[in-house]
Amino acid sequence: MSEAKTPRRRSLLKGAAVAAGAMSAPMVAVAQTTSFRFQSTWPAKDIFHEYALDFAKKVNDMAGNRLKIEVLPSGAVVPAFQLLEAVNKGTLDGGHGVVAYHYGKNSALALWGSGPAFGMDPNMVLSWHYYGGGKALLDEIYKSINMDVVSYLYGPMPTQPLGWFKKPVSNAAQLKGLKFRTVGLAVDVFKELGVAVNPLPGGEIVPALDRGLIDAAEFNNASSDRVLGFPDVAKNCMLQSFHQSGEQFEILFNKPKYNALPQELKSIIDYAVQASSADMSWKAIDRNSKDYIELKTKDKVNFYKTPDSILKAQLDAWDKVTAAKAGENAFFKRVLDSQRAFAERAGQWQNDYTVDFKMAYNRYFAKGGKKA
């Protein structure tokens, strides 16, 4: 019997073949899922919480099984106004809210959303943030208050109403003495107008109105206001205001948890933020306009335009408040100066280029106008 045919020889050849096959087979990595626990600052039924879920879904869909964001409603882990600290400490991996909710940490934070922003609309404020130096300033402020977080701003909010009132107001004098809910720097603006302000989180506003703890309140938009129950406790809503005419959402991440992600997943988050910003804008137009009709027809709410005299009084109060804050807080002055410089340039462009859409709308839909 030849050596090639011996049992031992055959065994050695078989073993070598198996080994060679194992070496040539590609290594298949089993992806580990990184889970992030988020909390929003919104009640589960609010469209704002829906926006938070929309963002998470975009990330989860693009990341496959590599990253999963779970979003809980306000209060599931911490109260709404404690989100920033919870994300910083790692109690939560991230969250969804607004920068104005952190106003108590540094007054400059309220400039991202509270106030007229020198005539900038909410999309222009976001443009300033990402291209005019706002992001670097926000990062610096968070570092100064020892908040180790990564912040993304997105989602330009439509102009917010002056608020819900038991009786409509026709001049600034009628605001004096009212117990009113608002947040951010708007607290100081309304105080300057003689209002007694209570900065309640969203889910607590309607119960406070119902029990008479406050006389009037603002939250945000037709969809949120309707589902939160405002028309059940007040029937008058004053539209248009400068107190929060340029606000946006904030998505927060715990920085060590975020930094541990591979660059590909960080890029997915970045592009999901941008996609969510556009999607939120489109959804807001659709949903807010439908709920506005429902508020007028089914809920029998009376809507009034806020008188120009009140709008002017807001601007006068804003000038006084911001001048005082800028003198007390170097960050406040730097943010204010940065916004002003950007607004002067961008505002001139927008005002000169943008056509009066109301002219076209009135032509086709106003009483006595032509029908399409």
For the CA atoms of 182, 186, 157, 316, what is the dihedral angle to 10 degrees? 140
Q: Is residue 197 part of a domain?
A: no
Give the domain extent around 119.
34-157+246-288
What does the pLDDT read at residue 176?
95
Instruction: Tell me, yes or no, whether 141 lies in a domain.
Output: yes
82 part of a folded domain: yes
Mean pLDDT of the chain: 91
pLDDT in tens, 144-189: 999 999 999 999 999 999 999 999 999 999 999 999 999 888 999 9
**Domain-located, residue 113:** yes
3-state secondary structure of 44: coil
> Taking Cα atoms as reference points, which of 67, 66, 70, 64 lies closest to residue 52?
70
Q: Is 105 part of a structural domain of the chain? A: yes
**Residue 137 clears pLDDT 90, i.e. is over it:** yes
Is the pLDDT at 21 greater than 50, yes or no? no
* pLDDT interval class at 241 (50, 70, 90): very high
**Is 334 a domain residue?**
no
Q: Cβ distance 96 to 55 under 8 Å?
A: yes
More confident residue, 62 or 2: 62
The pair phi, psi for residue 57, each rounded to 5°, is: -65, -40
| 363, part of any domain | no
Q: Is the pLDDT of residue 202 over 90?
A: no
Torsion of CA 122, 191, 219, 106, to 10 degrees: 60
CATH number reported for the structural domain that contains residue 83 in this entry: 3.40.190.170
The band of 368, judged by pLDDT with boundaries at 50, 70 and 90, is low
Task: Give the pLDDT of residue 24.
Answer: 46
Overall domain count for the chain: 1
Q: Model confidence at 38, in pLDDT bands (50, 70, 90)?
A: very high
Instruction: Report the amino acid identity of residue 211.
Output: R
- Say if 332 falls within a structural domain: no
Q: What is the pTM of this model?
A: 0.88
- pLDDT score of 172: 95
Q: Do 83 and 252 form a contact (C-beta atoms < 8 A)?
A: yes
